[in-house]
Amino acid sequence: MNPIKAALSATALIALTAPAFAQEVNLYSSRHYDSDDALYAAFTEKTGITINRIEAKADELMARMEAEGANSPADVFMTVDVGRISRAEERGLLQPFESAVIEANVPAHLRDDENLWTGLSQRARIIFYSRERVENPPQTYEELADPKWKGQVCIRSSSNIYNQSLMASIIETHGEEPARDWAAGIVANMARAPQGGDTDQLRGIVSGECNVAVANTYYYVRGLASDVDGLTSGIDGVGFVWPNQSGRGAHVNLAAAGIAVNAPNKDEATALLEYLASAEAQAQFANANNEYPVMAGVPIGEHVAQLGIFIPDNDTPTSSFKEHATTAQTIFNEVGWD
């Protein structure tokens, strides 16, 4: 046989027998739950693609990607909130991608306008209160600033990304001056200086240190689903309110992921994002942290279901969390929200 023809035939054979994807995808993730292990194992079994995980805080991962530069092995960057995925976007660490699967499965308001990232699970930031000491809890975020709650509110620090995103949504809805008044009202109503995480705000209700608190839904559900020190034993005395149900709806944040700007395995990265946004994976990904799926029709977890049905704020664009982030922090600093 002609040597050239033989070489071409061998190349054709290799092309027919080679796997459709490379054998790995490198995931830089600030989300670290042991329950995700089974999900990633299922992806590998389905596709033959091994997931190499690097787990750290989002800011640490972004600094690492910047230091690695064009030689970064990162394929997928995953965060637990829109604020930090937006920071990665601003720092030029993500690249746009196209996926008919994600467009079909994830509503547009839960994806980036420029296709730099997609939401993968949802959680709401809502109001909790003491059933024993509060008869008429606040029904909106705005009511939390009413002077009648003076000395009764527990909430995290202004440096917390969840509070920054909530504040950004208030700026988007009402404007800067009303948002400043709201933040000043919250400071005046604090039962104590901001401290600890969301679970600590709920513990404050159980201990009696505060009567009202703001926290993400999954921290409360953890107290229902498992034994959380200082919370589970008194969780029957903690009530909750889905805020703004007669208006814009409850503030929702997202776990999100995008493809790294220098991803060496972009096709494999896209395959991973599509898998995580599929019906097969959505329930497990969300339920692993007691969250809500981004894909409609996917069953929610048993304990999350106890929170009932609510109206989410789908009108406030998630892009506003990024657009108003600097203003939100400036206002926090001006009103003395530590």
Token pair 């704020």: residue: 313
Q: Tell whether domain 123-250+317-335 is in CATH 3.40.190.10.
A: yes
Task: Check: CB of residue 273 under 8 Å from CB of residue 102.
Answer: yes
Q: Which of 21-35, 91-105, 187-201, 303-317 has the lowest average pLDDT?
A: 21-35
Give residue 5's pLDDT: 37
pLDDT surpasses 70 at 278:
yes
pLDDT surpasses 80 at 34:
no
Q: Which of 7-11, 30-34, 171-175, 246-250 has the lowest average pLDDT?
A: 7-11
Encoded amino acid at 195, one letter:
Q
Residue 173's nearest CA partner among 42, 43, 316, 54 is: 316
User: What is the Rg, in whole angstroms, of the alpha carbon atoms belonging to the chain?
Assistant: 22
**pLDDT (tens digit, 9 = 90+) per residue, 310-328?**
999 999 999 899 999 999 9
**pLDDT (tens digit, 9 = 90+) per residue, 156-165?**
999 999 999 9
Give the pair of three-digit tokens for residue 330: 């400036």
Residues whose CB falls within 8 Å of the CB of residue 127, separated by 6 or more in sequence, listed in order: 137, 138, 141, 144, 212, 213, 214, 240, 241, 243
pLDDT surpasses 80 at 1:
no
Give residue 10's pLDDT: 34
Chain mean pLDDT for the chain? 92
DSSP strands (E only) in 157-222: 212-216
Give residue 127's pLDDT: 98
CATH architecture of 3-122+253-300: 3-Layer(aba) Sandwich (3.40)
Task: Check: CB of residue 43 under 8 Å from CB of residue 275.
Answer: yes
For the segment 123-146, the average pLDDT, to the nearest whole number, is 98
Give residue 7's pLDDT: 36
Length of the chain: 338
Domain(s) of CATH 3.40.190.10: residues in the chain? 3-122+253-300, 123-250+317-335
Give residue 8's pLDDT: 33
pTM for the model: 0.89
CA atoms 191, 196, 201, 204: torsion sign: negative
Residue 111 gets which letter from DSSP?
B
For the segment 179-191, the average pLDDT, to the nearest whole number, is 98
- Percent of the chain whose predicted confidence (pLDDT) is above 70: 93
